[in-house]
Amino acid sequence: MFQVGDILCERYRLLEPLGKTAIGHQTWLADDLFSPIDVYSEPKKQYPWLRWAFKVNQVFRPKIYEKVTVKLLAFNPQLSWEQFKLFEREAKVLQGLNHPFLPRYRNYFELSGNAGNRVPWFGLVEDYIPGKSLQDLLEQGEKFSESKIRKIAVKVLNILIYLHELNPPVLHRDIKPGNLILGEDNNIYLIDFGAVQDQSSVTNISFTVVGTSGYTPLEQFWGKAVFSSDLYALGATLIHLLTGISPTDLHNQDYQIEFEEKVKIKPYFQAWLTTLTEVKLSQRYHTAREALTALKTGATSKKKDSRNQIIKSGNKDKLKTKIKLNKTAKSLQVIIPSSQLKLFTQLFKPDITLINNQLDIKTIIPLVTISGVVLIPFSLIFTGMMLKDPSFIMASLEIMGGMSFMVIFILLLLYIISSMGSKTCLVLDQETLKIQEKILGLEYYQQEESKSNILGIFIHQFLQRYNVTINTRKMIYQLGSKLTEEEALWLAKEIEDWLK
């Protein structure tokens, strides 16, 4: 076991243990001996003529170092391989995060068996965030008002928007009062990424079930965490802060959290919290951005009633839609108008890859276009300038103008054709998911993967329009771009029903 004063890697001096320590795990507050703090940096700038006095004073006072958090994991027989994988994944994911209210990755190291009772240890170093966890405040009898809970919700949702919209998305999977820090600067920080999951790391073979009882939704225990799983955990956390009662003591026989009689809050905020913590995925907010918009606008009750009405009815006859759907017991086919810009994004996608030692056709098209429109006319103009021939220069300008007009005409024609005949075709059968992009019946893009990779069906709102996405372990497939809310809800329900 490590003790106060121990120095790890000749750099990190342990000061005091942090939090509750599990078997084989330790978390310490430490000094980073490689990062001394110059307490006189600002006075030196203000009073440069006293610089020598500050240097002398610095010699006679103890050095101050930056504080860090050191998380240690013992590689012993009691440690499961899954625990080690989670620890390594936390280090890997933290390296890719850059957000002011998330801990910053600083280092990852290994200690040989000579330290820590002859057991190898792995260490993860990140920024120390001074403050108190919301769990500590609850245990100290802190009362959280509705307005304070709303502010906490907004701050955490903004963090989740950042995490969920990364590529690949990052799921925290363990949001609870103990992992939310009220910093000394009065901001909320989300810590402890020990249960984190980036969707690129999920496999078809096994799942690691992580989370904290009471804050973890049912689908996460089944190994199918999605964006709204983090939203459920946030809702359970906010309810705990409001009522002072753990969510495990508020579950009814259907595992729904019942808190309405425990606290008096505004009806729209109560409806918003209820939607966050719905047991059924289809009745929750699908994204953090959607939940934040609903919280700020206060339009939660109306939205939820509309959603439930459409979901319960499932009646396409009441909808005016261009979506074509063909559903059987063995397959589902959906044909939906796609964005006019999808053709351009595929044609001019900057994907420079080699296939059989040859450039992909997706790369040749933009290269030829750019060289034809820009390089050739400019080379002619440059040649004319070198020859000092005005007529040659004018001819080159005319060629440039003609080629530019031709390219603009072709792009405009493609846009018009795309707006009239661009379709997205989704085909689902018992084993595969296939997405095709077609224009006037001709296929120009196709992607196929296993149906077992599907993580969930989501609805996204942009201004007054909606789209439906199918999130898999590899990609996010978008269906439509200008759907009405009723179309999006109906389409999402049809796909979810077929997948059940």
For 357-405, write each residue's pLDDT tens digit.
444 444 555 556 656 666 666 676 677 677 777 777 677 667 777 777 7
* pLDDT for residue 122 is more than 80: yes
**In contact, 232 and 276? CB cutoff 8 Å:** yes
Look at residue 359 in the predicted model and tell me its pLDDT: 44
Tens-digit pLDDT profile for residues 252-310: 877 889 998 889 999 889 999 999 999 888 889 989 999 999 998 875 544 444 444 44
* pLDDT above 70: residue 350: no
Given a cut of 50, is residue 170 above it in pLDDT?
yes
Query: Is the preceding peptide bond at 168 cis, omega within 30 degrees of 0?
Result: yes
Per cent of the chain over pLDDT 70 is 72
Give the residue with greater pLDDT, 93 vs 402.
Answer: 93
Residue spans per domain, the chain: 7-127, 131-313, 316-500
**Domain at 316-500: CATH architecture:** Roll (2.30)
pLDDT above 60 for 77: yes
Which tens digit of pLDDT belongs to each residue from 56-69?
A: 666 666 788 999 99
Q: Is the pLDDT of residue 316 over 60?
A: no
pLDDT at 340 over 80: no
Domain 7-127: which CATH class? Answer: alpha beta
CB atoms within 10 A of CB 260: 13
Residue 277: exposed, middle, or buried by beta-carbon count in 10 A (0-12, 13-18, 19+)? Answer: buried
When pLDDT is cut at 50, 70 and 90, the band that residue 204 belongs to is: very low
- The sign of the dihedral angle between the CA atoms of 233, 239, 241, 246 is negative
What is the number of alpha carbons within 13 Å of residue 58 lying toward its C-beta?
Answer: 15
What is the per-residue pLDDT for 277?
A: 93
DSSP three-state, residue 350: coil
CB atoms within 10 A of CB 349: 14
Whole-structure pTM value: 0.58
- 131-313 belongs to CATH 1.10.510.10: yes
pLDDT tens for each residue of 35-48: 988 766 667 666 67
pLDDT value at residue 353 = 43
Give residue 123's pLDDT band: very low, low, confident or very high (50, 70, 90). very high
Task: Note the pLDDT of residue 211.
Answer: 59
Of 385 and 227, more confident: 227
Taking residue 222's Cβ as centre, other Cβ atoms within 10 Å add up to 10
* Selected residue with higher pLDDT from 351 and 463: 463
pLDDT at 177 > cutoff 70: yes
Annotate 159-190 with b (16+ C-beta within 10 A) or e (fewer): bbbbbbebebbbbbbbbbbbbbbbeeeeebbb
